Amino acid sequence: MNVLQLFNTASPLDLVIKVFAVVSSILFFIFSLVLYRQTQVMVRTLQMKHNWVAVLISFIQVIIALVLLLIAFFVV
């Protein structure tokens, strides 16, 4: 697949929307990775009963962010 085909849009507004969606998805993915790392540091620092719940929720957020990034890049 040609990279230029990904940005094949009917109008300039569509291109602006696609670029905005991709950039914000990248930022959200980076944010979710940082949050996941901070959760891992917190779990090592604090002794709680259900540490795995916090790690699981932050890992699910990373997966959702990755799916959102793929959708923004290939579908929108």
Integer Rg of the chain from CA: 17
Of the candidates 30, 24, 40, 39, the one whose C-alpha atom is nearest the C-alpha of residue 62 is 30
- The pLDDT score that the predictor gives to residue 73 is 84
pLDDT along the chain (76 residues), means of 10: 58 82 94 96 88 93 95 82
**Residue 75: its pLDDT value, please?**
78
CA angle 36, 73, 20 (to 5 degrees): 85
Secondary structure (3-state) at 1: coil
- The residue written with tokens 């795995």 in the block is 52
The pTM for the full model equals 0.79
Length of the chain (residues):
76
